Chain A
Amino acid sequence: MKKTLIALLLCAATLPAQAVLDPAPVRQLAAEDSSAKVAAIRQLTQTADPDAVRVLKAMAEDSLFLAGDKVVIIEGEQAFDATSGEAIKMPANPESPTVNNRIRGELASALAALKLFDADVGVRLASAQKLQSQVTPEMAPLLARALNQESDAQIKALLTLAHAQANLANTDPAARLEAVKALAETSSPTIKSVLLPLTEKAGEPDDKVRYEAIAAVKAIDSRLAMAENVGRAFSGLSLGSILLLGALGLAITYGVMGIINMAHGELLMVGAYATYGMQSLFRAFAPDYIDWYLPAAIPVAFFAAALVGVVMERTVIRWLYGRTLETLLATWGLSLVLIQSARVLFGAQNVEVSNPSWMSGGIEVMPNLILPWNRIIIVGFAMFVLFLVWVLMNRTRLGMFVRAVTQNRAMAGCVGVPTARIDTMAFALGAGIAGLGGVALSQISNVGPDMGQGYIVDSFMVVVVGGVGQLAGAVWAALGLGIFSKLLEGWAGAVIAKISILVCIIIFIQKRPQGIFALKGRFVE
């Protein structure tokens, strides 16, 4: 006692600027009982004193010791008094207090909480964000104090939420009511689980607060559900974008030549393998620029798929003109050959195509709604391709020829449109677009020999729903089918969703046999 007093006096004399911690809780940190330690940690946290940070940090780093009656911090060869912070002589037999997992957890959140008072805004913000999920009722006064001296609006908002969470255990019903009201504005699943106990009589005796809590949970629930649906709709949008890239080519070739290419899905595969090939090339020869492999893959995939398309058109499809059903069979044969070729060349297993670093991560719109960059980029990419195709079809001579052949092949031929060349060009274009679809697909799904098969039925459905030779129809049908199927998947499962969509399409065709945008008139038949 005498020694402490002297030390205190000394301390006051030598370091007048330094505040001195309350020695009782410091001593209690080294107590036998865990609960006593926890209480001491919490008490120290309350002070929001920089010295408390120092002591707690030391304890977390296992450099806090008990030397006789004194709590000391030992760093290497140096020893400090925990209460005052002054250097002391190295004690003889320092004992390490037990720091179990419970204490460690307590220390972690205490240190995080104390960071709220850091001078650096960044540190404060990080701490406030981290706190959200580990608020305890005891933090209420601390948070109130932090809130009081905080000037940054973003941190303030976070602290308000944390304070409200801590206040849920307040003995004053009015304070609890206030807290519940504040929390009702949020949309995080954690806060919902914090509020849940208050919706029952056992957890919340006050009727008013309980009703408010029930309403708050409901409000959070509906926002959560909305976020989930928005998330699904978004992934539907990206699926629709890929379907669109698949279906655009199909719609063009169907419009121009009246044939449906069953090997179209394999052109997606060609595009995806071209992407894989570019990735391998970059890895081998330009590993520093690996992130650039994807932009480089775009033209390569386009031309690789277009080349395969031209070969298909010249060797097989051209000779089956007018025999549409047989074309289905022949192009199916082509798809088998392409699949088997991919197996022989690249192996039957899926190959690994990874996102470039700039495509990972996403935008967090809500706590449970993150829009991944790769999907955002795919949607944007599809829209860009769509724009190019639109320009090509409506603003160029080739587009005019293609449209002419679509409407009336014989007449187009009569006025000098080279229909055979247009067929090849249109087929190459459609194949190239499918190749681009393959690039996009490689970023969100597996790349393997069978990958095209899964998308072909869906792409056909897009053409069926969208109508013949109609870009606008294909766009609406692709995006609509993509979003609709993902939303449906959310509450009915993938298989049921697929089946119900098929049924819907069959019903839809009853009403509009020619798709959304029907060509009408005497040329139809």
Chain B
Amino acid sequence: MILETTLDDRPEGSDGADQMGHFVTGELDLSHGVALYLEDITVSFDGFKALNNLNLAIDAGELRCIIGPNGAGKTTMMDVITGKTRPDSGKAYFGQTIDLTRLTEPEIAHVGIGRKFQKPTIFEQHTVFENLELAMKTDKRVWKSLLAWLAGDERDKIAETLRLIRLDKEADRQAGLLSHGQKQWLEIGMLLMQEPKLLLLDEPVAGMTDDETMRTAELFVSLAGKHSLVVVEHDMAFVEKLGGLVTVLHEGSVLAEGDLATVQNDQRVIEVYLGR
């Protein structure tokens, strides 16, 4: 399809036109220990409620897994957080001060939220190196890009990330030629280059080998603490490896929350997953 959805209900004065890089909503404030706070979020598509009074709070430095059957609203939730979909009602705050429902996608990226899509989305025509370069945290306004030239420390940073995602030998290859797992890693690498405070990862290990999956889990665990992570995943072994709290979504709201073992023994969760 050609046109993007949900622009019609964007609040006045937040077209992002005059705000590139400078935000009216203030700096990120994590002083109360909450990184992401969703309250009573409702999104409906033609009467179908994709999200139904969803409440969710992610602490700073937390690694949270979100599971749930198809159509539970996982992807829609990420769309709301990253500004792609505007909620019909409810609040979405990043830290104490930043109202996510008032920002555009690029602005949300700027305040420190990175997102990995369900289907790996990278720039297939660019080299691996260029993919990381484009993602790097820097001034992303037009005229800066016109005159941009990579400084030495920036090259070092890219090289470091390349090693971390084990693509240092592929740096000059066209990204479209990578394997599926490598593309997933590249997208994670791009996320890291953004230096976000909060990472949203939609099925990051789909299509990876077991070995790659385990390495990804290790990477995520090492990132927790410095960053907050929200991981949507179906692979229970991977979820188990990540540890941390698990939230179960069902029909657009939270069904259960707790560590994996608790959740897996929850009668309602079993019903939802196995049917009656």
Residue of chain B at shortest CB distance from A513: B3
Contacts of B45 in A (CB 8 A): 520-522
Q: Is the CB of B8 within 8 A of A522?
A: no
Q: Is B232 an interface residue (CB 8 A)?
A: no
Q: Is A3 an interface residue (CB 8 A)?
A: no
Roughly how many angstroms separate A514 CA and B2 CA in the complex, as a whole number?
9
* Residue in A258, A468, A511, A520 with the greatest tally of chain B CB atoms within 10 Å: A520
Q: Is the CB of B7 within 8 A of A513?
A: yes
Q: Is the CB of B8 within 8 A of A513?
A: yes
Residue of chain B at shortest CB distance from A521: B45
Contact of A524 among B5, B50, B76 (CB under 8 A): B5
Q: Is the CB of B1 within 8 A of A525?
A: yes
Q: Is the CB of A521 within 8 A of B48?
A: yes
Interface size classification for chain B: 10 to 19
A384 to chain B, nearest CB (A): 30
Roughly how many angstroms separate A522 CA and B252 CA in the complex, as a whole number?
14
B176 to chain A, nearest CB (A): 16
Q: Is A512 an interface residue (CB 8 A)?
A: yes
A514 to chain B, nearest CB (A): 5
Contacts of B3 in A (CB 8 A): 513-514, 524
A99 to chain B, nearest CB (A): 77
Contacts of B1 in A (CB 8 A): 258, 468, 519, 523-525
Q: Is B46 an interface residue (CB 8 A)?
A: yes
Roughly how many angstroms separate A475 CA and B122 CA in the complex, as a whole number?
40
A521 to chain B, nearest CB (A): 4
Within 8 A of B (CB), among A480-525: 511-514, 518-525
Contacts of A514 in B (CB 8 A): 3, 5
Roughly how many angstroms separate A524 CA and B1 CA in the complex, as a whole number?
6
Contact of B4 among A468, A523, A525 (CB under 8 A): A525
Roughly how many angstroms separate A1 CA and B46 CA in the complex, as a whole number?
102
Q: Is the CB of A522 within 8 A of B4?
A: no
Q: Is the CB of B4 within 8 A of A513?
A: yes
Residue of chain B at shortest CB distance from A519: B1
Q: Is B75 an interface residue (CB 8 A)?
A: yes
Residue of chain A at shortest CB distance from B3: A513
Roughly how many angstroms separate A524 CA and B7 CA in the complex, as a whole number?
13
Interface string of A333-369 (1 = CB under 8 A from B): 0000000000000000000000000000000000000
* Residue total for A at the interface (Cβ-Cβ under 8 A): 14
Interface string of A172-190 (1 = CB under 8 A from B): 0000000000000000000
Roughly how many angstroms separate A344 CA and B123 CA in the complex, as a whole number?
49
B86 to chain A, nearest CB (A): 12
* Residue in B4, B5, B6 with the greatest tally of chain A CB atoms within 10 Å: B5
Interface string of B55-78 (1 = CB under 8 A from A): 000000000000000000001100
Q: Is the CB of A525 within 8 A of B5?
A: yes
A456 to chain B, nearest CB (A): 18
Within 8 A of A (CB), among B12-46: 45-46
Contacts of B2 in A (CB 8 A): 468
Contacts of A512 in B (CB 8 A): 8
Q: Is the CB of B8 within 8 A of A511?
A: yes
Contacts of A468 in B (CB 8 A): 1-2
Contact of B75 among A513, A520, A522 (CB under 8 A): A522
Residue of chain A at shortest CB distance from B85: A522
Roughly how many angstroms separate A419 CA and B7 CA in the complex, as a whole number?
32
Roughly how many angstroms separate A523 CA and B4 CA in the complex, as a whole number?
11
Contacts of A522 in B (CB 8 A): 45, 50, 75-76
Roughly how many angstroms separate A524 CA and B45 CA in the complex, as a whole number?
11
Roughly how many angstroms separate A468 CA and B2 CA in the complex, as a whole number?
9
Roughly how many angstroms separate A511 CA and B46 CA in the complex, as a whole number?
18
Roughly how many angstroms separate A524 CA and B2 CA in the complex, as a whole number?
8
Roughly how many angstroms separate A521 CA and B76 CA in the complex, as a whole number?
10
Contacts of A520 in B (CB 8 A): 5-6, 45-46
Roughly how many angstroms separate A518 CA and B9 CA in the complex, as a whole number?
13
Roughly how many angstroms separate A519 CA and B4 CA in the complex, as a whole number?
11
Contacts of B5 in A (CB 8 A): 514, 518, 520-521, 524-525
Contacts of B46 in A (CB 8 A): 520-521
Residue of chain A at shortest CB distance from B79: A522
A470 to chain B, nearest CB (A): 13
Residue of chain B at shortest CB distance from A468: B1
Roughly how many angstroms separate A523 CA and B1 CA in the complex, as a whole number?
9
Residue of chain B at shortest CB distance from A512: B8
B71 to chain A, nearest CB (A): 9
Residue of chain A at shortest CB distance from B75: A522
B80 to chain A, nearest CB (A): 12
Contacts of A513 in B (CB 8 A): 3-4, 7-8
Within 8 A of B (CB), among A354-413: none
B45 to chain A, nearest CB (A): 4
Residue of chain B at shortest CB distance from A510: B7
Residue of chain A at shortest CB distance from B2: A468
A259 to chain B, nearest CB (A): 11
Residue of chain A at shortest CB distance from B44: A520
Roughly how many angstroms separate A295 CA and B21 CA in the complex, as a whole number?
65
Contacts of A518 in B (CB 8 A): 5, 8
Roughly how many angstroms separate A521 CA and B6 CA in the complex, as a whole number?
9
Roughly how many angstroms separate A46 CA and B26 CA in the complex, as a whole number?
95
Contacts of A524 in B (CB 8 A): 1, 3-5
A481 to chain B, nearest CB (A): 19
A301 to chain B, nearest CB (A): 31
17 further A-B pairs in the complex, CB-CB below 8 A; given A513-B4, A520-B6, A522-B50: A258-B1, A468-B1, A468-B2, A511-B8, A512-B8, A513-B3, A513-B7, A514-B3, A518-B8, A521-B45, A521-B48, A522-B75, A523-B1, A524-B3, A524-B4, A525-B4, A525-B5
Contact sample, A vs B, 6 pairs, CB 8 Å cutoff: A468-B2, A513-B4, A514-B5, A521-B46, A522-B50, A523-B1
Residues of A whose CB lies within 8 Å of any CB of B are 258, 468, 511-514, 518-525
7 closest pairs, A vs B, by CB? A521-B45, A513-B3, A524-B5, A520-B45, A524-B1, A514-B3, A513-B7
